[in-house]
Amino acid sequence: METFGRARSRVPPAAPWYGAMAMVLLALASTVVAADARKGDETTASTGKVAVASPPTRRNVTLICQSVPYPGACETALSSAEARLAAGDPFTGSTQFAVSRATSARALARNLSASAPPSGLRDCAELLDITVSQLRDALAQSAADAEGATTWLSAALTNQDTCNDSLAAVPASPGRDALRRQVGALARFISTSLALHVGNVKGRSGSGSGDIPPAPAPSPGGGSATTFPSWLSEHDRRLLESPATNITPDAVVAQGGSGTHRSIGEAIAAVRRAASPAGAKARGGRGVVGASRRKVIYVKAGRYVERVSLTYQEENVMLVGDGKGKTILDSYNSAAGGYTILTSATLASRGAGFIVKGMSILNSAGPDKGQAVALLVMGDRSVVYQCEIKAFQDTLFTHSNRHFYADDDIAGTVDFIFGNSAAVFQGCNIQARAPVPGQPDVVTAHGRDDPNQNTGFSFHMCRITAAPDLGRTPVYLGRPWRKYARVAVMKTFMEASVSPAGWLEWSESDPSALNTLYYGEYGNSGPGAATNGRVKWRGVHRSMSAAEAMEFTVGRLISGDSWLGGTGVRYTSGL
């Protein structure tokens, strides 16, 4: 593998199951099947989703599972004790089974990492902890917040890919190998739950295709760049609209001693202690019950060399600086220095509701140090606003869940915006820097690994440019990290440095990925925007229709009209 390569998991192509799954679930919803006498369980369904007796007969299990990506895993889950206790609801049974398997894998990861130095084992233990919470959130909210449940299941599945990638760098041992097997199996069980949930949603809505729900009507002015996506509160909107000096923070960081703390890490620790009431419960998807108040940390101008990490329990945290180039957070951690891709991040946020505004977030390890992340974002409904994010390979790891990036400057070399989130970049400056000789300059590496994940990258009204030292190195819009990668570039200016081919094949990819990915362009401008020379892969859409482009807007891809408006971030809901 090249020094700029990245591990790539492989999954078999999934059958076009959407319509079939919806029809099967609808049919079963109107059928009451006698319980298997051998099981002695006469419980009947009462959930109102898929109303079959508990447990389903082998015939119905086979019928349900024949159209999901992993039929064998599906049959195992729906034949389990958890499924027999699930009142005949296949989604509930499969997800409860996935929770039990995730809990077992987490226990093994914790045991293995307890006596080991920081490594991929520790990354996996944390990822599995988050997974358990996300699965429980999806189970609890599958009906009330269907899109949220799809997001959390998609994120839980992404966690297994990341865990597997981290374990690949851990020396082989019986324990590591056993954990890899458990994580691989867990991914198939989560994929089954995701497929069943999407099938339920389509059955209720009567939709047989598409995986992004219709956008709610935007608030007045929502179609212009003068309002903010509505999933952020009115309080958060005011925070983002206000200068840093007008905000009343919970902590102030100043190197000269004029604040409450001299480092960002110290301020986060203090806020953590103050904002953790007894009995607060961490939630991987939706938040910390009982501790949801916004916590604001004001970081005064200065250069802070430290690694800052927020756990998934630390939600609704806002870091606000004095502006790009004024408040600077930097580090030098990299793969070459022995760090994992997660621990290399200068700033890592795992909790939901994260906001950062007016800061420069850098990783200065250098172009020859391999993966060296500046910013890692994992939490749902996170916002990065008016920031500079600058490194070389793997600058921004937009890992999972729903994110919004606005008015940011993002610079790097290889795959410098990567991950498997649903993320919209609006009004951002994307700059390709000079890589190590022989390396490609690639903007995106999207990691969608399952056809039911509601993830993708959208670049809307951005600028893609070259750093002055780039020379004649061509810039590619993206390459498929995993086989269902999804990226759209819309109404964006592209300099001549963008290669006429537009997109680059992954060096180790299954050729079928070129058919299953989705790369689209719509209404772009500039000398690099001409599409007549683009690669001719089946998954490349050189000129999307307006209807196709709408699927990648704030209102559709990240359900932005339901949560961004309260943050104060200005956005355009539609095209």
Any idea which residues carry the catalytic annotation?
415
Q: In which order are the strands placed within the sheet that holds 317-321?
A: 251-253, 295-299, 317-321, 355-357, 382-385, 402-406, 422-426, 456-460, 486-490, 518-522, 540-541
Residue 492, both tokens: 């964006």
Does the bond joining 527 to the residue before it have cis omega, within 30 degrees of 0? no
Residue 495, both tokens: 């300099």
Single-letter residue type at 19: G
- Cα torsion 563, 378, 158, 205 to 10°: value is 0
Structure letter (DSSP) for residue 172: P
In the three-class reduction of DSSP (H, G, I as helix; E, B as strand; rest coil), residue 300 is classed as: coil
How far apart are the C-alpha atoms of 99 and 266, rounded to whole Å? 35
Dihedrals φ, ψ of 442, to 5°?
-125, 130
How far apart are the C-alpha atoms of 326 and 104, rounded to whole Å? 46
CB neighbourhood size of 296 (10 A): 22
Residue ranges of E strands in 300-401: 302-305, 308-310, 317-321, 327-330, 347-349, 355-357, 360-362, 375-377, 382-385, 388-390, 396-398
Residue 307, both tokens: 């690694």
Tell me how far CA of residue 207 lies from CA of 23, 202, 204, 213, in angstroms: 10, 5, 8, 10
Residue 418, both tokens: 């990567």
